[in-house]
Structure 1
Amino acid sequence: MNIKRRAGVAMIAIAVGFTGVVVAPPPVQAQGLLEALFKGPAQRQREKMARQQARQEAVPAAQPPKPVAKISGPTYRTYKPDALVNVDFSKLSDPITTGAIDDMGLAPLGIDPFTEGRAVLADLSLRALPEAAEAVIEHYSARPEYLWVAGTSVTERTLAVVAVLDDADAVGLSAADYKVDVPDDGFDITQGTERQKQLMAFEMKLSVAVANYILDATRGRIDPNRISGYHDFKRKSPDLADRLEALSKAADPAEALLAQNPQGAHFEALKAELVRLQQLDEGERIEIAENVLIKPGQSNPELSNVMAAIALKGSDALKVDNALVLASYAGKPEYDAEIVTLVKGFQKEAGLKPDGVIGPATRRALVGITNADKIEKVRLSMERARWLPGVLASRRVFINQPAYTATYFEGGRQELSMRVVVGTKSNQTYFFDDRIELVEFNPYWGVPQSIIINEMLPKLRADPSYLDRLGYEVTANGRAVSSSAVNWNAVGRGSGIGVRQPPSDGNALGELKILFPNSHAIYMHDTPSKSLFERDTRAYSHGCIRLEDPRAMAAKVLGTTVADIGGYIAGGRNQQVNLSSEIPVHVAYFTAWPNEAGKVEYFADIYGRDDYLRRAIDATEKARTS
């Protein structure tokens, strides 16, 4: 007789992250024939109860699903502007000199004009940005002499500097922030001390204004990181004392001051566009309902406004080719084939997908925006330009989210530009600078925690083997596990669960990704969803930048050919190739920006960031004038 003895295999839950995330199967038990025949009823009952208790300990009791705390993106904040501070002139004022002035208001021989005016500083009250206030005191403590005054008058060089401040609006700043009144020219010996007071007060007011201007021109009036976490910039900290000294020695201090603003064709184009717009009348404009959506074959009363707008904005060539349709249109609401052809022609001219569907993008092209709106967009773009490097690198990649484009520059000239897909409004692409370091071919897609928790988890709780069937790899605290082995009801933020998709034809990142490692996990990559590039509005990703022609961009940044890129991909092996030298990349957000020809183009504010920046500027101007 084959007698088996009962073997109890005690197994417990495997703790991964925390107890109960990955669960082992229940213990296997067996009972021999002899034990069943010769044990008494009481003993068998005791052992039965023990087995039941062991099973209860080995298999965790069913627990309700752990509540899912969604992972959300950054929020927009009420902007807190920089606070102005009082300039502390106590380190510069010298009350001893007060007694040295005679009844005629004249100082003894040997006392220089700056020392003569020091006593005025004890009663001088000025406010400045904290860095500007500190820099002015630092400069004059080291070099106690006039920058802007010669003898008893203001120099021509100084007047040119004042003119730059007065024209601050032309570079997107506010002249009111730097307003300094110039003392009347001429000197009356009977004025004595009063004249010295005027000159010293003017000297300090102008130096404070210049220091404030340098700060604003260099880094912008707004700290973008205070607007929202979608902005990620290290705020610039120019050495103001050093720059004041450089201005005093410059052959043309006015030109040197103006050069504190961003340099390059992009900023010059914005300046020229601002001048052009300010000289224009608003002109005629046809209004079309904002929520308009007219498809071929439908009927809509807004069609009459569409036709009027095409007659106003369409090119002469378009109107000649469709003269009969335009002339015979009598206000009917039916969107028939002839009008569809006309609309498609207009869409093609406007750089839109010529599908004949009259939606938001076509409406914007037909209605346009007012000059006032364009002026505001240009000024906001000039502010944003100050967050970028003052001089853009000649070799760079520039991504403009509202334009849905990625552009490669070599030698300062555009060599490649393509359509991109950016983040949705709920998964916005960040605005930041970085450096491209490498290209990964046949990449793995490490699924972000936000997608695991927000999107995958509900499916996995209903179907734990969901990821196994799709071929995804699952890890728990770095240990490979099966998707079906995970107790997804216990998974939440911080549970140590990782998910990645191996290289494949269906991989979300496609053939390659171009990496500039950052805390936002944003990069450029290929995509199997090619049809999205045909759409006018292309905000569909989870935040990364999908490239229309990833092989071409990879070839440019690696300094090789598209054929070589194809060779890397054809191998099918996951591999990384480092760039010979890193390339600056600007993941930017501009609703007004010049094209290759230098003409400023305007784009829809896809994330509503213009409004937040406008509020920040308003709050800043209010704080500076209060």
Structure 2
Amino acid sequence: MTINRSAMFTAFLAVTTVLGGMPSQADATTLLDLLRGGPGRQARQQQQSAPMSLEQQARGGLEMGDPEPLPKVKGPQYYTYKPEATRLIAIKASAPSNAPSTPAAVGSADVAAPFVAPTTTAPLEPRSFAAEVKVRATDDVAKVVEAYYSDPQKPLIWVTPNGVSERGRQMLDALTEADQFGLSPEDYALTAPAAVNDPADPNRALRDLMSFELALSAKVLTYVQDTTRGRIDPNRISGYYDFKRKSVNLAPVLDMLRRSPDVAAYLRSRNPQSPQFVAMRDELARLRAEDSQASAQPITVAAGTVVKPGEANPELVNVVGAIKQVASEAVLKDHAETFTAFGQSTQYGPELVELVKAFQKERGLKPDGVVGPATIRAMTGHSNAEKIEKLKVAMEAVRWLPADLGQRYVFINQPAFNVYYINEGREQLSMRVVVGSKANQTYFFQDQIQTVEFNPYWGVPKSIIVNEMLPKLRQDPSYLDRLGYEVSYGGRKVASSQVDWYSTHAVDVRQPPGGDNALGELKILFPNDHAIYMHDTPSKSYFKRDMRALSHGCVRLAEPRVMAAAVMGTTVEEIGRQIATGQNRAVQVPQKIPVYVSYFTAWPDKNGVVQYFDDVYGRDTATQKAFKVTTDARTPRA
């Protein structure tokens, strides 16, 4: 029997742990009762029947019902973002171009050289002052600028002795278009030097031109770097991000721009070309065009509105109008007759119910036809301005991922509470998922699916042992024995009753496979430092909720057998046969599959239509703060 110890966490039970404030009335409960809510579960369920806000659900919807190993007391933090440091660009001084030629010595040292008349003084040019100007850039950008301008054979790109060149002006214009690609034009803004005649400093104009030359090259290189890897380092936002920042080969860029017949076209070509990014770019342009044309104000639906099929409600007029404003072309086309026939009726009849169901299904909501808070939020929750901000963050995050996601991969989008299996470049299946709560967030990273484990053991993580089980174990040390859990100490199996739960021990606890196993029938593994994986769950009711940030960090699948069949390249029936053996067995997938555990509040669906989601973890806000700090750092100080 294979034991997957990688999923098990060592629990260090400190002698200083106290019982103060811990529940003592757990005698009639089982371990699964503890994990699913404890003895007060019915009372909590009654409380939960009242409407809960998104924030309340994210904070309080756990019900202690998740097994994933993410210790609550040591979870990652959000940081005060610090942009990359800059330094002065240092161009070594070369011999002045206007210096007279030195007479060559002839004969021996004691023989006077013949007189040679000095050559004509060469006119000064901007490059003569390269060593004097002060321009700052990040180290990798500064190195490329220094390498180019320290070579006397390399011509200037953006200026001539008489002023900014036509190529330089074209580049300034091109950088102002950065907002078309989700970037901030302020990050690359530069003012062309004015023509000056300063009697006190006759070389000021040339010095200013050289300063502009170096500064523009630094801005262009920064832009090219940003288009590939993003403006900010996500790992500096929060410990919930795990990315190896991309390296960008900047060395040939200045030479390419010097030779390029169209510098604006070159810059545009450096932006991502993936279908997802292109869809976002086009959506951004569409939203801005709508705003510029002063389109109609979004229709609102009265707060607290709930309409069930067969009921009458005056807000139905606004519901239909809101769907007409925000639904995709496919929904509008399929239900064109319903829109045409609808007048000002307040009766929620079958045709309108089908329209609402189609809209709900398109937005990843439960297609039950009930017009409630989640459906109304999908209709009216995001203004154009909000969508534009979501797109900017999403276009940044796309740059953290590979330029090409691949032809076959699994994509988990946490704000959508959905997972998608892409095969041959097309979405083959999607399903609902449960992700980490706001207090136990799922990470944003990429990895490779390697293994499917059938009838898995559940290695109980330290956080649950210490925070949720220890009080009961101190009262009843044989508790785990009676429930059939396995306890190991020092690599040797022991009875739970043999452990002194008040002393310091290194103890492993795991739950054998079975119908009540917290991981269900199977788990899909992509080994990572965060102990995150996809798995089945006995708590099926969670998938009926629209807000599904409820776990300790791992990703629960609504249809685990279907996903397992997809990644194994087999049938659901074969997956069922593997489970039916009841044996714990880990099987490698035939071919490793990329998996992207991502966080996008704006993402195109399989038809290329960008859908918008709530920022359940507040990560968009943290990213926007990092944008501002970065722009402030890049703006020259007066």
- TM-score interval, normalised by the smaller of the two chains: 0.7 to 0.9
Letter in 2 for 1:570: A
TM-score by length of 2: 0.75
The aligned counterpart of 1:395 is: 408
**Per-residue deviation, 1:209:** 1.0
**Per-residue deviation, 1:173:** 0.9
Deviations 1:565-601 (CA, angstroms, capped at 9, x unpaired): 3332233222222234322211000000111111111
Deviations 1:282-319 (CA, angstroms, capped at 9, x unpaired): 523344566x374869x99xx65565334443569879
Contact 1:222 1:617 in 2 (8 A): yes
1:404 to 417, 432, 438: 417
Contact 1:165 1:178 in 2 (8 A): yes
Cα–Cα, structure 1 residues 448 and 263, in superposed 2: closer, same or farther, change >3 Å?
Answer: farther
Q: Which has the higher contact order (CA 8 A, sep 6+)?
A: 2
Aligned equivalents of 1:289, 1:535: Cα separation in 2:
22
> 1:485-524 to 2 correspondence within 5 Å?
485-490=498-503, 495-524=505-534
Number of residue pairs matched by the alignment: 544
| Unpaired stretches in structure 1, ≥5 consecutive residues | 1-15, 22-61, 102-106, 186-191, 330-336
SS at structure 1 position matched to 2:155: coil
Aligned equivalents of 1:339, 1:578: Cα separation in 2:
51
Deviations 1:424-482 (CA, angstroms, capped at 9, x unpaired): 11111111111112221221122222222222223333433332233221222332222
The aligned counterpart of 2:3 is: none
SS at structure 2 position matched to 1:489: coil
Letter in 2 for 1:497: V
Q: Give yes or no for the alignment of 1:124 onto 2:126.
A: no
**Per-residue deviation, 1:215:** 2.1
Letter in 1 for 2:128: A
Aligned equivalents of 1:460, 1:19: Cα separation in 2:
11
Greater displacement, 339-348 / 516-525:
339-348
Aligned equivalents of 1:19, 1:168: Cα separation in 2:
54
The aligned counterpart of 2:391 is: 378
> 1:52-67 to 2 correspondence within 5 Å?
65=19
Aligned equivalents of 2:625, 2:350: Cα separation in 1:
41
TM-score by length of 1: 0.76
Q: Give yes or no for the alignment of 1:568 onto 2:600.
A: no
The aligned counterpart of 2:453 is: 440
The aligned counterpart of 1:135 is: 144
The aligned counterpart of 2:109 is: none
**Per-residue deviation, 1:324:** 10
Aligned equivalents of 1:453, 1:108: Cα separation in 2:
86
The aligned counterpart of 1:463 is: 476
Letter in 2 for 1:411: E
The aligned counterpart of 1:525 is: 535
The aligned counterpart of 1:550 is: 560
The aligned counterpart of 2:236 is: 226
Letter in 1 for 2:617: Y
SS at structure 2 position matched to 1:598: coil
> 1:206-225 to 2 correspondence within 5 Å?
206-225=216-235
| Unpaired stretches in structure 2, ≥5 consecutive residues | 1-9, 23-70, 102-117, 196-201, 325-331
Q: Give yes or no for the alignment of 1:84 onto 2:86.
A: yes
The aligned counterpart of 1:257 is: 267
2:157 to 148, 158, 164: 148
Q: Considering only CA atoms, is the larger Rg found in Structure 1 or Structure 2?
A: 1
The aligned counterpart of 2:31 is: none
Deviations 1:203-243 (CA, angstroms, capped at 9, x unpaired): 32221111111222122112111211111111223232244
**Per-residue deviation, 1:499:** 1.6
Cα–Cα, structure 1 residues 572 and 259, in superposed 2: closer, same or farther, change >3 Å?
Answer: farther
SS at structure 1 position matched to 2:183: coil
Cα–Cα, structure 1 residues 448 and 598, in superposed 2: closer, same or farther, change >3 Å?
Answer: same
Cα–Cα, structure 1 residues 161 and 70, in superposed 2: closer, same or farther, change >3 Å?
Answer: closer
Deviations 1:173-216 (CA, angstroms, capped at 9, x unpaired): 1112222455799xxxxxx9777556534432221111111222
Letter in 2 for 1:177: D
Greater displacement, 273-282 / 120-129:
120-129
Aligned equivalents of 1:436, 1:109: Cα separation in 2:
72
**Per-residue deviation, 1:321:** 6.0
The aligned counterpart of 1:42 is: none
The aligned counterpart of 2:108 is: none
Deviations 1:61-110 (CA, angstroms, capped at 9, x unpaired): x9965999963422222222223332223x2x325335359xxxxx9799
Cα–Cα, structure 1 residues 109 and 148, in superposed 2: closer, same or farther, change >3 Å?
Answer: farther
Letter in 2 for 1:203: E
Cα–Cα, structure 1 residues 414 and 99, in superposed 2: closer, same or farther, change >3 Å?
Answer: same
Identity among equivalent pairs (%): 48
SS at structure 2 position matched to 1:148: coil
Greater displacement, 124-133 / 420-429:
124-133
> 1:22-421 to 2 correspondence within 5 Å?
65=19, 71-89=73-91, 91=92, 93-94=93-94, 96-99=96-99, 116-141=125-150, 144-146=153-155, 148=157, 160-181=170-191, 197=207, 200-248=210-258, 254-280=264-290, 281=294, 283-288=296-301, 292=304, 294=306, 305=315, 308-313=318-323, 327=344, 329=346, 346-351=356-361, 352-355=365-368, 358-421=371-434
